[in-house]
Structure 1
Amino acid sequence: MDLVTPGVGLIFWTALTFVVVLVILRRFAWKPILGALDEREKTIADSLAAAEKAKEEMAALNAQNQKLLQEAIAEREKILREAKAVADRFVNEAKEKAIEESNRIIASAQEAIRNEKQAAMTEVRNQVANLSLTIAEKLLKNELSNKNAQIELAKSFMNEIKAN
């Protein structure tokens, strides 16, 4: 049983060695180890705080991006409405100008037609007058070819003049 039960001296020296190792470890190892653990804990806490701050900033940026996107969409809609209004105005102005131009062309064409009609009527009258004179000349030449017809015509003109 000697082997199983330790002696008092062994217990004493083991306890003394444990206490010495404990003091040495506390003085030289535990403080640096605990300091390193505290430093690591602080670094982890700072990293978590930075991550939380970055998360909040990201949420704020997302909200700002959404706001800018909505503003851009509203601005695009406004620009499209203005462009449509301008295009409609240009189309209406072009239609009005085309109508005015067509009315002017029609009036000009009607005036030209009236002028041409007047000229044609004048030309027809002139031709009718020329034809009448030509016919009258030919008739008179035929009727006045003999001397008796000429004397008879002169007497009838004289009688008409006296009657008037």
Structure 2
Amino acid sequence: MNLNATLFAQFVVFFILCGFTMKFVWPPMMKALDERVKRIASGLAAADRGKADMAAAEKRVQAELMAARTEVQSRIADADKRALAIIDAAKSTAAEEATRILAAAKADAEQQVARARDALRADVAALAIKGAEQILKREVNATAHADLLSQLATEL
């Protein structure tokens, strides 16, 4: 066996295998690697865009929260103002109602006093007649002396 012929045959087989590999195996493998590199690069770019979008969305959310807080505070202030206005209106209405009730009570009291005075005058007139009867020991005619009794009632 000749070492040179075996070595030469091995070189030939090696170069044939290398040529076959370079022609049929290497291009699909490189194509798959290139596609994988592109997918990884696009994934990283999408992640960067996602981070940027998330940061922008975070800023929009913060701005919306600030706007909502401001709106809520203004609504609370408006509600407080309206509550104070309603309270003031209720106080004024209550004061007017109290004045009206007080005036009605005074008028009612004056009417009751006037009725009580009239009743008292009538009672006094009746007592005066009875007293006069007792003194005179005779009956006084109330219809005959009506003018005198009304004058007496007005004087009382």
Q: TM-score range by the shorter chain?
A: 0.7 to 0.9
How far is the alpha carbon of 1:40 from its aligned partner? Answer: 0.8
Amino acid at match of 1:31: P
Query: Which of 11, 24, 28 is matched with 1:28 structurally?
Result: 24
Q: Which residue of 2 aligns with 1:109?
A: 105
Which aligned pairs between 1:113-128 and structure 2 lie closer than 5 A? 113-128=109-124
Which aligned pairs between 1:110-149 and structure 2 lie closer than 5 A? 110-141=106-137
TM-score of the superposition, structure 2-length normalised? 0.76
Q: Which has the larger radius of gyration?
A: 1
Amino acid at match of 2:27: K
Q: 2:123, 2:17 → 1: CA distance?
A: 150
Q: Which residue of 2 aligns with 1:53?
A: 49
Q: 1:81, 1:34 → 2: CA distance?
A: 69
Q: 1:132, 1:33 → 2: CA distance?
A: 141
How far is the alpha carbon of 1:54 from its aligned partner? Answer: 1.4
TM-score of the superposition, structure 1-length normalised? 0.73
Q: 2:128, 2:27 → 1: CA distance?
A: 146
Q: Which residue of 2 aligns with 1:71?
A: 67
Q: 1:45, 1:8 → 2: CA distance?
A: 50
Aligned alpha-carbon RMSD (Å): 2.1
Q: 1:47, 1:139 → 2: CA distance?
A: 131
Q: Which residue of 1 aligns with 2:82?
A: 86
Number of residue equivalences: 138
Q: Does residue 12 of structure 2 align to residue 16 of structure 1?
A: yes
Map Cα deviations across residues 109-145 of structure 1 (whole Å, 9 max, x no partner): 0111112112222322232233223322332236xxx
Gaps of 5+ in 1: 143-164
Q: 1:87, 1:64 → 2: CA distance?
A: 34
State which drifts further: 74-83 or 47-56.
Answer: 74-83
Amino acid at match of 1:74: T
Amino acid at match of 2:8: F
Q: Does residue 37 of structure 2 align to residue 41 of structure 1?
A: yes
Q: 1:38, 1:141 → 2: CA distance?
A: 147
Identity, in percent, stands at 33
Q: Which residue of 2 aligns with 1:161?
A: none
How far is the alpha carbon of 1:63 from its aligned partner? Answer: 1.8
Q: 2:67, 2:85 → 1: CA distance?
A: 27
